[in-house]
C-alpha cells in the first residue's frame, strides 16, 4: 500500500489512524473536505476526531448549525474524545425559537438569518484564527439561500475565505435522495462517504485532489472510543518472494511425503472432513516452528482456545509451554465481532509488530460465517497474498463436507488460493476405519503421489509408509492390489 | 451595501405591523441602513407615534381591520409618505392603498435591497 510516499507534502492527521492510512497519510492542509452520509453514520464523530487531533495552537474550531454545543461536548466526552482545546461556535437554533409565538414573514429567512450567521462565523474565525475548522452541517446554508445559485456562490465564497487563511475545513452534508448534494461534492477538494449497510459501516473516499488514496469501501466501527477505520487490504503489487526454504513438519515420514516440507511463504490448505485432525496437523508445523524459535498464530473461528489446548496437550504438542515462551498465540475470533478489514488489520499487526512467521486460519468456513462485510473470499485472497509477500507461511484449514466417498478438495472455488493442498481422509480398509494423508498439489516442488497412513496418538502424529498396494483410494473404499 | 452616517440626524421611520417579530426584524434592517425605527403594533400605539416627527411610514396592513385605512388617511393629512405592505396582492387592495395615500404596495416577503432603495428615493 502506498503510505505517505511523497513525504515533501505535509499531512494533517484526521485523528483516526485507519483513515489517515486511506488518505495516504492524512489530509492536505488548507483545503476543504466534505464528509457525507445519512443520519447516524458518524459524520460528527469524525469531525470531533479531526479537531481533537489538532495541537492546541491550531485553535480547532467547531461550528455547529444543528446540535447544541452542550450535547456535542457530552457526546465527545462519552467517546473519550478530548474537547478541551476545541472552541465551539453555536449557531444552532435556541429553544426560544420554538416557543416564540410569532415568526416574521416580512422578509424571507434567507435575508434575515444569513447575514448574522455569516458575520458570526467571520468574526469568530478572525478572532480565534483557527487552523482546523469543522462545520456541521453545510447543508443548513441551503435553507438560507434564496436559490441554488446563491447557495453555490455563498459556499464557494466561504471556502475561499477559509482557504485564504490556510484553514483546513471539514464540512458535513446531510444528503438524501430528496436533497442531493452533488454541488457540494464538486466544490470540495475531497469527499469522504460514510454509509451503513447490512449492519456494517463503510467509509469510502471518492475524491482527494492532489493526493493518492486507497479506493473502495473500507469498514469502520463506531464504538465506545469513537470511530475506527479498517483500511481494506488490497492485494499488493509487490513481487512474491519465492523461497526454496522448506519448513519441516517434525515428522520424518510426513516430510518425505512433502519431499522435504512446505516452503516458507506459501499458502497451504489442509483439507479433510470434520474431526480428522487438520488443526492438529497444522499445530504440528507450529510445534516445529517453535523449536526453531519462530512465532505462530492460530486464528480460531470455531473452537474455543481451551478445547484446542486440551486436545493438543493430549497428543504431545506442548501448546501451553509454547504460549508461555511466546512462540504461539491462539486467538479466538468471536462470530460477527469483526469485519474482514478489521480481521486483516489484526493479522497484519501480529505480523508487523510481533514478527509472526506462521499463520493458521481455522477454518475458511468459519471465516466466511463469522466475519461481516462483503466480498469475503476476495478479502481472504488479499490477506493470503499480503502474508505471502511478507514471507509468512499460511495454513488454511478447509473442512470438506463428505466424511468418506468421492473426493472434493474444497467447497466453492477456494482451491486456487492454495500453493499446496494436503488432505487427510478416512479410509475403510478391511472393515476398519483408518486415516490417510496425501498431497494433491505442491507448486514449488514435487511430492509423493501415494498416500500414507496417519495416526494421531498420545505420542504425537505418526505417519506410516506409503500405501502403495492400495487402489481406488480416492473413492474412500480402497482395495488391496493382489500381487 | 449601505452607508451608515452617524453624524447626520437619521430619518425616523414609523413601522406599523401587528406582528411584533416583523417589527423587530424591520427595525434591525432599518438600523443597519442608518435609520431610526418607530414601531407600532396597535392602533393606539400608532396614534401616539403620530406625535413624533416621522419622515416615512411603512404600514403592514395584514392583521388589522379596515380601520387601518383611517390611519393611512391621517398620515396623508400630515403629508407623511407611506408604503403599504401586504401578504398578497389584489386589485382591491391596490386600489384601497392608493386611495388612502400609499405611494406603493409591497408584497411580502420583501427584498431588503429593494425596500431600502425605495425608502431612499422617497426620503430624497
Could you tell me if residue A73 is left (phi over 0), alpha (psi between -120 and 50 degrees) or otherwise beta? alpha
A367 and A314, same structural domain? yes
Average pLDDT over residues A173-187: 85
Is residue A266 pLDDT above 50, yes or no?
yes
Q: Structurally, how many domains does chain A consist of?
A: 2
User: Which residues of B fall within a CB distance of 8 Å from A107?
Assistant: 25, 29, 108-112
How near does any CA of chain B get to the CA of A117, in Å? 14
Which of A96, A98, A106, A146 would you mutate first to test chain B, the one with the most B CBs within 10 A?
Answer: A106
Is residue A47 pLDDT above 50, yes or no?
yes
Give the range among A68-77, A241-250, B38-47 with minimum mean pLDDT. Answer: A241-250
Closest chain B residue to A110, measured at CA: B111
For chain A, give the percent of residues with pLDDT over 90: 45
A133 contacts A125 by C-beta, under 8 angstroms: yes
pLDDT tens per residue across span A124-174? 999 999 999 999 988 888 888 878 888 898 899 999 999 999 999 999 998
A30 and A59, same structural domain? yes
For chain A, give the percent of residues with pLDDT over 70: 90
Is residue A86 pLDDT above 90, yes or no?
yes
For chain B, give the percent of residues with pLDDT over 70: 93
Residue with cell 488518505: A23
More confident residue, A71 or B2: A71
pLDDT tens per residue across span A228-257? 999 887 766 555 556 678 899 999 999 999
Is residue A4 pLDDT above 60, yes or no?
no
Which of B1, B23, B24, B25 would you mutate first to test chain A, the one with the most A CBs within 10 A?
Answer: B25
**Contacts with A47 (C-beta within 8 Å, 6 or more apart), sequence order:** A35, A62, A134, A136, A170, A172
Is residue A334 pLDDT above 50, yes or no?
yes
Closest chain A residue to B28, measured at CA: A112
**B19–A107 C-beta distance less than 8 A:** no
Closest chain A residue to B106, measured at CA: A106
Q: Does A119 touch chain B (CB under 8 A)?
A: no
Q: How confident is the model at residue A5 (pLDDT cuts 50, 70, 90)?
A: very low
Structural domain includes residue A309: yes
Is residue A74 pLDDT above 70, yes or no?
yes
pLDDT tens per residue across span A420-462? 999 898 887 777 888 889 898 888 888 888 889 999 999 989 9
Question: What is the reported pLDDT for A176?
Answer: 76
Nearest to A107 among B20, B87, B112 (CB): B112
Closest chain A residue to B15, measured at CA: A106
Which of B13, B15, B22 would you mutate first to test chain A, the one with the most A CBs within 10 A?
Answer: B22
Phi then psi dihedrals of residue A45, to 5 deg: -60, -45
A33 contacts A188 by C-beta, under 8 angstroms: yes
CA pair distance A46, A27, nearest whole angstrom:
13
Per-residue HEC secondary structure of chain A comes to CCCCCCCCCCCECCCCHHHHHHCCCCECCCCEEEEEECCCCCHHHHHHHHHHCCCHHHCCEEEECCCCHHHHHHHHHHCCCCCCCCEEEECCCCCHHHHCCCCCCCECHHHHHHHHHHHHHHHHHHHHCCCEEEEECHHHHHHHCCCHHHHHHHHHHHHHHHHHCCCEEEEEEECCCCCCCHHHHHHCCEEEEEEEECCEEEEEEEEECCCCCCCCEEEEEEECCEEEEECCCCCCCCCCCCCCCEECCCCHHHHHHCCCCEECCCEEEEEECCCCCHHHHHHHHHHHHHHCCCEEEEEECCCCHHHHHHHHHHCCCCHHHHHHHCCEEEEECCCCCCEHHHHHHHHHHHHHHHCEEEEEEECHHHHHHHCECCCHHHHHHHHHHHHHHCCCEEEEEEECCCCCCCCCCCCCCCHHHCCEEEEEEEEEECCEEEEEEEEEEECCCCCCCCCEEEEEECCEEEEEEECCCEECHHHCCCEECCC
A-B interface: how many C-beta pairs under 8 angstroms? Answer: 39
Complex ipTM, two decimals?
0.79
The CATH number that applies at residue A267 is 3.40.50.300
Is residue B1 pLDDT above 50, yes or no?
no
Structural domain includes residue A5: no
A206 and A347, same structural domain? no
Structural domain includes residue A275: yes
User: Which residues of A fall within a CB distance of 8 Å from B109?
Assistant: 105-108, 111
Q: Which domain holds residue A85?
A: 17-230
User: Which residues of B fall within a CB distance of 8 Å from A106?
Assistant: 17, 19, 22, 25-26, 60, 85, 108-110
User: Which residues of A fall within a CB distance of 8 Å from B27?
Assistant: none
pLDDT tens per residue across span A347-365? 999 998 999 999 999 988 8
**B111–A104 C-beta distance less than 8 A:** no
CA pair distance A142, A144, nearest whole angstrom:
5
A301 and A251, same structural domain? yes
A439 and A347, same structural domain? yes
Give the range among A31-35, A264-268, B2-6, B79-83 with minimum mean pLDDT. Answer: B2-6
A200 and A120, same structural domain? yes
Question: Mean pLDDT of all residues in chain A?
Answer: 86
User: Which residues of B fall within a CB distance of 8 Å from A102?
Assistant: 19-22
A275 and A367, same structural domain? yes
Question: What is the reported pLDDT for A101?
Answer: 62
Structural domain includes residue A2: no
A268 and A183, same structural domain? no
Q: How confident is the model at residue B42 (pLDDT cuts 50, 70, 90)?
A: very high
pLDDT tens per residue across span A362-388? 988 888 888 877 777 888 888 888 898
Question: What is the reported pLDDT for A402?
Answer: 64
Classify B12-123 by CATH class.
alpha beta
Q: Is B84 helix (H, G, I), strand (E, B) or coil?
A: strand
**B25–A112 C-beta distance less than 8 A:** yes
On the CB side of A451, CA atoms within 13 Å amount to: 21
A316 and A289, same structural domain? yes
* DSSP 8-state code for residue B4: -
A27 and A139, same structural domain? yes
A319 and A198, same structural domain? no
Question: What is the reported pLDDT for B66?
Answer: 86
A387 and A338, same structural domain? yes
Amino acid at each position: 500500500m502506498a503510505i505517505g510516499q511523497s513525504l515533501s507534502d505535509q499531512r494533517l492527521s484526521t485523528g483516526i489512524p485507519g483513515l489517515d492510512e486511506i488518505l495516504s497519510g492524512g489530509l492536505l492542509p488548507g483545503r476543504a473536505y466534505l464528509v457525507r452520509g445519512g443520519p447516524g453514520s458518524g459524520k460528527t464523530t469524525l469531525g470531533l476526531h479531526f479537531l481533537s487531533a489538532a495541537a492546541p495552537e491550531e485553535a480547532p474550531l467547531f461550528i455547529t448549525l444543528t446540535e447544541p454545543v452542550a450535547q456535542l461536548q457530552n457526546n465527545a466526552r462519552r467517546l473519550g474524545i478530548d474537547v478541551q482545546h476545541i472552541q465551539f461556535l453555536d449557531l444552532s437554533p435556541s429553544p426560544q425559537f420554538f416557543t416564540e409565538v410569532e415568526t416574521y414573514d416580512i422578509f424571507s429567512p434567507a435575508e434575515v438569518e444569513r447575514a448574522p450567521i455569516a458575520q458570526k462565523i467571520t468574526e469568530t474565525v478572525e478572532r480565534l484564527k483557527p487552523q482546523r475548522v469543522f462545520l456541521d452541517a453545510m447543508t443548513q446554508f441551503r435553507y438560507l439561500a434564496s436559490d441554488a445559485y446563491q447557495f453555490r456562490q455563498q459556499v464557494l465564497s466561504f471556502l475561499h475565505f477559509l482557504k485564504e487563511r490556510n484553514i483546513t475545513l471539514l464540512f458535513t452534508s446531510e444528503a438524501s435522495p430528496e436533497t442531493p448534494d452533488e454541488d457540494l461534492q464538486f466544490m470540495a477538494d475531497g469527499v469522504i462517504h460514510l454509509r451503513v449497510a447490512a449492519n456494517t459501516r463503510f467509509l469510502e473516499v471518492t475524491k482527494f485532489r492532489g493526493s493518492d488514496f486507497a479506493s473502495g469501501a473500507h469498514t469502520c466501527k463506531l464504538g465506545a472510543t469513537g470511530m475506527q477505520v479498517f483500511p481494506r487490504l488490497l492485494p499488493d503489487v509487490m513481487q512474491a518472494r519465492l523461497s526454496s526454504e522448506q519448513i519441516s513438519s517434525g515428522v520424518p515420514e510426513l516430510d518425505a511425503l512433502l519431499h522435504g516440507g512446505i516452503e516458507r511463504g506459501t499458502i497451504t490448505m489442509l483439507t479433510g472432513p470434520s474431526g480428522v485432525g487438520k488443526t492438529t496437523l497444522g499445530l504440528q508445523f507450529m510445534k516445529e516452528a517453535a523449536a526453531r524459535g519462530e512465532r505462530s498464530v492460530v486464528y480460531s473461528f470455531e473452537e474455543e482456545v481451551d478445547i484446542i489446548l486440551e486436545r493438543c496437550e493430549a497428543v504431545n504438542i506442548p501448546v501451553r509451554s509454547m504460549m508461555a515462551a511466546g512462540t504461539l498465540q491462539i486467538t479466538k475470533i468471536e462470530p460477527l465481532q469483526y469485519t474482514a478489514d478489521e480481521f486483516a488489520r489484526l493479522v497484519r499487526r501480529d505480523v508487523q509488530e510481533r514478527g509472526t512467521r506462521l499463520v493458521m486460519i481455522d477454518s475458511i468456513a468459519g471465516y466466511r460465517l463469522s466475519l461481516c462485510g462483503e466480498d469475503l473470499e476476495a478479502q481472504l485472497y488479499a490477506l493470503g497474498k499480503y502474508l505471502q509477500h511478507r514471507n509468512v507461511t499460511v495454513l488454511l484449514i478447509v473442512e470438506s463436507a463428505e466424511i468418506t466417498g468421492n473426493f472434493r478438495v474444497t467447497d466453492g472455488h477456494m482451491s486456487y488460493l492454495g500453493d499446496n493442498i494436503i488432505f487427510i481422509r478416512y479410509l475403510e480398509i478391511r472393515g476398519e476405519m483408518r486415516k490417510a494423508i496425501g498431497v494433491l498439489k505442491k507448486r514449488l516442488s514435487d511430492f509423493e503421489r501415494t498416500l500414507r497412513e496417519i495416526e494421531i496418538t498420545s505420542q504425537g502424529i505418526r505417519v506410516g509408509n506409503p500405501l502403495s498396494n492400495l487402489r481406488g483410494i480416492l473413492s474412500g473404499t480402497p482395495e488391496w492390489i493382489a500381487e | 451595501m449601505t452607508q451608515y452616517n452617524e453624524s447626520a440626524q437619521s430619518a425616523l421611520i414609523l413601522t406599523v405591523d401587528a406582528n411584533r417579530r416583523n417589527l423587530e426584524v424591520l427595525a434591525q434592517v432599518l438600523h443597519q441602513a442608518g435609520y431610526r425605527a418607530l414601531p407600532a403594533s396597535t392602533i393606539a400605539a400608532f396614534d401616539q407615534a403620530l406625535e413624533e416627527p416621522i419622515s416615512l411610514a411603512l404600514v403592514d396592513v395584514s392583521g388589522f381591520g379596515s380601520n387601518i385605512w383611517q390611519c393611512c388617511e391621517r398620515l396623508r393629512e400630515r403629508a407623511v409618505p407611506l408604503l403599504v405592505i401586504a401578504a398578497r396582492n389584489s386589485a382591491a387592495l391596490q386600489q384601497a392603498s392608493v386611495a388612502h395615500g400609499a405611494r406603493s404596495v409591497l408584497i411580502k416577503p420583501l427584498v431588503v435591497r429593494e425596500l431600502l432603495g425605495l425608502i431612499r428615493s422617497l426620503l430624497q
